[in-house]
Amino acid sequence: MALPTVLLAALALTAQAHTFLTPRQASTITVDLTKTYQTMDGFGMSETFQRANQMHALSPELQRYALDLLFNRTSGAGFSILRNGIGSSPDSSSDHMVSIQPKSPGGPSAAPKYVWDGNDNSQVWVSTEAVKTYGVKTVYANAWSAPGYMKTNNNDANGGSLCGVSGATCSSGDWKQAYANYLVQYITYYKELGVDVTHLGFLNEPDLTTSYASMRSSGQQAADFIKVLRPTLDKANYTDVKVTCCDAEGWSSQQGMMSGLSSVNDLLGTITGQYDSSYTSAPGSPINTKHPVWQTENADLQGAWAAIFYSNNGAGEGLNWALKIYDAITKANVSAYLYWVGVQGGATNSKLVRISDDKKQVIPSKRLWAFANWSRHVRPGAVRLGASGGPSGARVSAFKNVDGSVSVQIIQSGTGVGSVSVKVQGFVAKSAKAWLTDNSHDCDEQAATVGSDGSVSANVPARSMVTVVLQNADS
């Protein structure tokens, strides 16, 4: 609304006359503890396809720095989920993930001939560090395909289906039970090294045929296998291991597989969810299921390496990723959000942290810090709360953590600048902290002031993400 010039002048005069300076109005964010949505499992990434080998080849100092950037809750992103790749390839050439049974044992009911090198392309090293040094509790082991000899196309790459699921018959027989045994054996190798796999996936992008490990599956075919896998896990006492399905490429594609899975919904009593990647369709609405839903893979795959938080809204910029995570959490109600790769070399944005070409530097992008803002303060078990208000143009979300703290995220993608006052109904903050990420800050601590009524004020700059954490206990 444009005020008439005369009136504006009058207002200016009045202001002058009273030496009255309008303070920049603080906007109020209201958090409602009684409105609860999904429970969070966390945030994460992957070092599959031999990316873990690249990390492991760094100097000890850079190894530690890279691990800290991923998993440390005070100096890094504090990731709470690691996604590992279960190999299906006959060898380790190129970036293949080698199988624990590279050669067919002779048939589906022959005694297995497993081979385990205790290294798994350095994924054992990353997993052990994540779990033992940094306390990561969620390890997602995910196969891209069954080994080739278990499939209709006799190749772990180029699509094909698991022999024995509906519509996939093979002269070698039905390999469903052998594949289930194989996946359980993989978990057991990790267990023997002190790493508990908590989530198990047997498909990746089953809607796509690629020149690397890939296996096609419909929802119905996935259900055929889950009917074998779940009891096989239970018999081996892995009753707590959650079966995931299906990591489809695109949110709508995953939604499309759900009806085929309806026959195993009871078996899905211990299944945490449907997993997905949003390369083709972003998580814009909830998937129809009673299980938690994870976004397991996304990245700016081809964009030239960008480490900045905001410049021109490029696909690799940190602010963009803060918003993508926000959308998946608040529109699709996801319980977890995983980037594709954590640390690796090369000139694209397919990873969060780049190993320099001379391998003498490890360089975090602002995408990592966008994740850090979420991951450090929205811990596994946190419940999303209703949140409204906030500065014009800003996105606001809120969570109650298991430790009782309330964590509020404010993403200002526009140019609005101002202070916010966070009020949590029925919650009197005794202390609070705020962290800022923008072009010049990496989750740096900012002032947060507790008011006499228990609300908390903090500043939100333009093009930034600010997290405010409120504690109501003396800490």
Ligand X SMILES: *[C@@H]1O[C@H](CO)[C@@H](O)[C@H](O)[C@H]1NC(C)=O
Binding site for ligand X (CB under 6 A): 37, 68, 72, 74-75, 133-134, 236-237, 286, 330, 333, 369, 372-373, 409, 435-437, 441-444, 465-467
Min dist CB 384 to ligand X, Å, is 7
Instruction: Give the 3-state secondary structure percentages of the chain, helix then strand then coil, rounded to 5.
Output: 25, 30, 45
Min dist CB 35 to ligand X, Å, is 8
DSSP for 194-230 reads: T----EEE--SSTT---SSB-----HHHHHHHHHHHH
Min dist CB 54 to ligand X, Å, is 21
Q: Which CB, 70 or 143, lies closer to ligand X?
A: 70
Min dist CB 369 to ligand X, Å, is 3
Q: Give kind and range of the element (H or E) at residue 178.
A: helix 176-192
Min dist CB 140 to ligand X, Å, is 21
Min dist CB 318 to ligand X, Å, is 8
Q: Which of 158, 247, 174, 256 is nearest to 206 (CA)?
A: 247
At position 349, the amino acid (one-letter code) is: N
Phi, psi of 275 (to 5 degrees): -120, 155
Q: Which CB, 145 or 198, lies closer to ligand X?
A: 198
- The Cα–Cα gap between 37 and 41 comes to 13
Shortest-Cβ-distance residue relative to ligand X? 443
Q: Which of 148, 173, 172 is nearest to 159 (CA)?
A: 148
Q: Which CB, 157 or 228, lies closer to ligand X?
A: 228
3-state SS class at 252: helix
127-130 contact pairs (CB < 8 A, 24+): 127/82, 127/84, 127/190, 127/195, 128/193, 128/194, 128/195, 129/67, 129/71, 130/67, 130/70, 130/71, 130/79, 130/82
Q: Which CB, 77 or 165, lies closer to ligand X?
A: 77
Q: Which of 171, 177, 179, 120 is nearest to 146 (CA)?
A: 179
Q: Which CB, 144 or 371, lies closer to ligand X?
A: 371
- The Cα–Cα gap between 405 and 250 comes to 34
Min dist CB 132 to ligand X, Å, is 10
- The Cα–Cα gap between 239 and 181 comes to 15
Min dist CB 27 to ligand X, Å, is 17
Q: Which CB, 165 or 408, lies closer to ligand X?
A: 408
Q: Which CB, 144 or 294, lies closer to ligand X?
A: 294
CB atoms near residue 73 (< 10 Å): 17
Q: Which CB, 71 or 202, lies closer to ligand X?
A: 71
